[in-house]
Amino acid sequence: MILDIYFPDEDRGTSVAEVYLEQTDVLIVGGGGAGMRAAIEAAAHGCRVIVANKGPVGRSGTTPMAMEAFQAVCSPGDSENLHFRDTVEGGRYLGDENLISFLVRDAAKRAEELETFGVQFKRKPDGAFDPMHHPGQSFPRALFIQGGGFAMLAGLIRQARKHSGIQILDDVLVMKLILDRAGKTSGAIYLDLKEGRWKAIQSKAVVLATGGYEELWAFNDASWTACGDGVFLAYEAGAQLVDLEMLQYYPTVVIHPPSIQGTLFQYELITHPEILGGRLLNGRMEPFFEGILLRDAIVRAIWKEILEGRGSPHGGVFIDLVHSSKDREDLTKALEKWQPNQFHYLKDMGFDLREVLVEVTPHAHYTLGGVAIDEKARTTVPGLFAAGEVAGNLHGANRVSGNALAETQVFGAIAGASAANLAEKRKFEKLSGIRLEMNVAENLVKGWQGRGNIRPHRVRERLQKIMWQKCGVERDDQGLRQGREELETLEREALPNLSVTDIGRGISYGAYPQEIQEALEVRMMISLGRLVLSSALFRKETLGHHIRTDYPSPWREPKHTFLSKEKGPWAGEVKRERTGPWET
C-alpha cells in the first residue's frame, strides 16, 4: 500500500528527492464520530480507506468531549415528524430542511447500530431506551450514551479496526487538498508529525470530518485541536461555505480556576427539577430566569447579567447545587447517575458541587456553520464530501441537544457511502500537483525557520481575544470591522514573522514539531477568522446565537450566508423541499 514514488519529470527546485506517497480509495480527514462512521461505511462497500487524524485517534478532537445525548425518536407518541419540527424550530428556520429530513430518518437506526458496535445506551428495566427530556424536544428523545462521546467513539474505533481495509494514521496535519486537472479532489498533502515530514496521499474521494473551529474564540469548551482545519481545506479547494457566523455557545462552562476552565456541566441537568434540582444564580446570588430555556435564550439571559454588572467575580454566573431541591443522598445518586465523570473530576480538583458554587459562563461550543453539503454529503467541489460539525447547513441558527452526535453517525454513514460510490467509478491517474504543493508547504515553513521572532502561541492568543471581544456573544458593525482590521494586521505583520523551533535535519523537522504544527494552525485560524467576521458583518439581523446589537430583529425570512474563495458573502435560500425518500 505504501509507494515511494520518484517523479523525475517534476524534480525541479525541491529539497526532497522522493515524495512519500500512498494511494487509497477514500481518504477521510478526521477520526472522530463522523470520520470513523464514514470509514466503516466506505470499508463495508469494499473500499480501502485511510483515516488521517491530527492527534491520537479516540484521544483528540471533539467527539471524546461530547456529552451523553444522542437525539433519536424512541418513545410512544413521538415521531420523526416531531423530531423534524423540533429541529427546524430550534434552528430558527435556518436549517436545511432536506438535510434535517435525513437526520431524523436515520438517527434511530444509527443508534441501534452503535449498540451492535458495543456502545451502550441507558435503558429502562423493561429494555426500552431511557432518554432524557432536553429543552427543545417535544418528547424525551436524548438517548443517553453510557460514557458519552468518548465511549461512542471507542466503540466506533473498535468496529473500524475489524476492517482490514481501514488504515488509521495518528498525528497527521492535513495541509492542502490536491485537485486534478478537471478540478476533482484527488488526495492531500500532510505533515506526518511523528516523523516531522511532508507526505502525500492520492485518493479517489476525500471526506472531511474534522469537526469545528471553536478554538478561534478565547473561551471555548472544545479542544486545542478544533481549529477548523476542514473548513479551511474546503475553502482553499473552492468549496462553498455557509453561515460561518453561526456559533453556538454552551451556557454553563466553568470559567475559573484555570485548571478546570472549559469543563462543561450540563445546564439541562442542573436546572431539571427531577434530575439535579439546582439553579443558576447571578453574582448577587439571585435567580435570573424562569422556566426551561433553549440554549440561545439562556446564553442571552446570562450575558445580560454579566453586562449589567450582576456577574460573578470572574465574569460569569454560579451553578448552585448546594441548595438543590434534593437531599444530599439523592443529589449524590443523581450526580453519579447523570454526570459521573464531571462530578468526580471537579470534586478531585477541589470543587465538590454539593458543597461549593462554581462559576460558569457561555463558551464557544459548536460551530453551526461550515462547509455547505447536500443530502449525499457532497460539497460543491467534485470528489469532496463533508460530515459532522465541519458541515454547515444542517442545524441553522441554534442546535437542539443531541443532534450533534446523531449528525456524526447519520451523515458520516452517508458520506462514507457517497465517497465509496465515487471511488468505485474512478481510477488513479497521474497527478501533477503533488510536488508543487509540497514545495509550497516547505517554503512556507522555511520562511519561519530561524528568521521570525513571534511565537505562534502569542498570535493564537491574540486572535482568540480579538474573536471573543469583537465577534463574541454580542456583535455590532463597528466591532466586527475593527476585528477584521486587527486580523488583517495580524496576517500581514505577525504571520510572516512567526518563529518556529524544530530539532530536525535534512528532510525532517524532527519528531513531533509541535511549534511548526501550531504555526500552520495559526495560519489557518487567521484566514478562517476573517471569513467568520465577513459573514457576521453580512448578517445584519439577530437570529439564534447571532446577536447583533445594532440589528436586534430577525429578517423577515431566514437566509443562508454563503461565501467561497471566488465570491464574498451572499444571501441564499434555505432549502425547504425534501429530495430524499422520506416523506411526511
Partner 1 sequence: MGDIIRVTIQRKDSRNVPVSYSRTYEVETRGEMTVLEVLQEIYCRLDPSIAYRRYRCGRRLCRSCEVKLDGKIVRGCATLLHPGGAYLLEPARTDSLIRDLVFDFHSHSG
Name the strand (E) or helix (H) holding 470: helix 456-470
**Residue 8, CA distances (Å) to 2, 5, 21, 275, 506 in order:** 19, 9, 14, 67, 20
Q: Which of 32, 33, 90, 148 binds partner 1 (CB under 8 A)?
A: 148
- Distance from C-alpha of 142 to C-alpha of 5, rounded to nearest angstrom: 50
Residues 36/160, Cβ–Cβ less than 8 Å = yes
In whole angstroms, the minimum distance from the beta carbon of 353 to partner 1 comes to: 14
Q: Is 58 in the site for partner 1 (CB under 8 A)?
A: yes
**Residue 493, CA distances (Å) to 219, 488, 497, 560 in order:** 25, 8, 7, 33
User: Which of 122, 112, 114 is closest to 143 using CA atoms?
Assistant: 122
Stretch that binds partner 1, among 32-40, 83-91, 508-516, 543-551 (CB under 8 A): 508-516
Q: Write out the three cell numbers for 110.
A: 444509527
Residues 226/211, Cβ–Cβ less than 8 Å = yes
- Binding string, 204-223, against partner 1, x = CB under 8 A? -----------------x-x
Burial class (CB in 10 A: 0-12, 13-18, 19+), 182: exposed
Q: Is 349 in the site for partner 1 (CB under 8 A)?
A: yes
Residues 559/545, Cβ–Cβ less than 8 Å = no
Stretch that binds partner 1, among 87-95, 142-150, 421-429, 520-528 (CB under 8 A): 142-150
Stretch that binds partner 1, among 77-85, 106-114, 299-307, 511-519 (CB under 8 A): 511-519
Residues 298/289, Cβ–Cβ less than 8 Å = yes
Q: In terms of CB distance, is 86 or 171 closer to partner 1?
A: 171
In whole angstroms, the minimum distance from the beta carbon of 146 to partner 1 comes to: 13
In whole angstroms, the minimum distance from the beta carbon of 58 to partner 1 comes to: 7
- Distance from C-alpha of 430 to C-alpha of 411, rounded to nearest angstrom: 31
Residues 255/283, Cβ–Cβ less than 8 Å = no
Question: Considering only residues 463-502, where is the footprint of partner 1 by CB under 8 A?
Answer: 499, 501
Q: Is 313 in the site for partner 1 (CB under 8 A)?
A: no
In whole angstroms, the minimum distance from the beta carbon of 429 to partner 1 comes to: 31
C-alpha 264, offset from chain centre: 16
> CA angle, corner 373, sides to 367 and 378, nearest 5?
135
Q: In terms of CB distance, is 102 or 250 closer to partner 1?
A: 250
Q: Is 515 in the site for partner 1 (CB under 8 A)?
A: yes
Q: In terms of CB distance, is 285 or 503 closer to partner 1?
A: 503
Q: In terms of CB distance, is 65 or 301 closer to partner 1?
A: 65
In whole angstroms, the minimum distance from the beta carbon of 550 to partner 1 comes to: 35
In whole angstroms, the minimum distance from the beta carbon of 35 to partner 1 comes to: 15
In whole angstroms, the minimum distance from the beta carbon of 258 to partner 1 comes to: 7
- Binding string, 252-291, against partner 1, x = CB under 8 A? ------xx--xxx---------------------------
In whole angstroms, the minimum distance from the beta carbon of 317 to partner 1 comes to: 19
Q: Which of 171, 245, 320, 486 binds partner 1 (CB under 8 A)?
A: 171
Q: Which of 224, 288, 551, 582 binds partner 1 (CB under 8 A)?
A: 224
Q: Is 307 in the site for partner 1 (CB under 8 A)?
A: no
In whole angstroms, the minimum distance from the beta carbon of 575 to partner 1 comes to: 35
Q: In terms of CB distance, is 59 or 333 closer to partner 1?
A: 59
Q: In terms of CB distance, is 216 or 372 closer to partner 1?
A: 216
- Distance from C-alpha of 103 to C-alpha of 388, rounded to nearest angstrom: 11
Residue 235: CB partners within 8 Å, gap ≥ 6? 241, 527, 528, 531, 564, 565
User: In 49-65, which positions are buried (b, 16+ CB within 10 angstroms) versus exposed (e)?
Assistant: bbbbbbbebbebbbbbb
Half-sphere exposure of 407 (CA within 13 A, CB side): 28
In whole angstroms, the minimum distance from the beta carbon of 203 to partner 1 comes to: 20
Q: In terms of CB distance, is 269 or 543 closer to partner 1?
A: 269
**Residue 150, CA distances (Å) to 212, 230, 318, 335, 336 in order:** 17, 21, 27, 18, 17
- Distance from C-alpha of 445 to C-alpha of 502, rounded to nearest angstrom: 11
Half-sphere exposure of 457 (CA within 13 A, CB side): 4
Q: Which of 21, 40, 49, 65 binds partner 1 (CB under 8 A)?
A: 65
Q: Is 364 in the site for partner 1 (CB under 8 A)?
A: no
Q: Is 194 in the site for partner 1 (CB under 8 A)?
A: yes
Q: In terms of CB distance, is 65 or 410 closer to partner 1?
A: 65
Stretch that binds partner 1, among 166-174, 289-297, 367-375, 526-534 (CB under 8 A): 166-174
Q: In terms of CB distance, is 338 or 538 closer to partner 1?
A: 338
The phi-psi region of residue 138 (left if phi > 0; otherwise alpha if psi is between -120 and 50; otherwise beta) is: alpha
Q: Which of 455, 462, 548, 575 binds partner 1 (CB under 8 A)?
A: 455
In whole angstroms, the minimum distance from the beta carbon of 267 to partner 1 comes to: 16
Number of residues that bind partner 1 (CB under 8 A): 41
Q: Is 382 in the site for partner 1 (CB under 8 A)?
A: no
Q: What are phi and psi of 40, to 5 degrees?
A: -60, -45
- Binding string, 519-558, against partner 1, x = CB under 8 A? ----------------------------------------
What does the DSSP 8-state code read for residue 556?
S
Q: Is 228 in the site for partner 1 (CB under 8 A)?
A: no
Residue 218: CB partners within 8 Å, gap ≥ 6? 461, 464, 465, 467, 468
**Residue 232, CA distances (Å) to 127, 150, 159, 241, 392 in order:** 44, 26, 29, 9, 13
> CA angle, corner 386, sides to 558 and 211, nearest 5?
85
Residues in contact with partner 1 by the rule CB under 8 A? 55-60, 64-65, 147-148, 150, 168, 170-171, 193-194, 221, 223-225, 258-259, 262-264, 341-342, 344-345, 348-349, 455, 457, 499, 501, 503, 510-512, 514-515
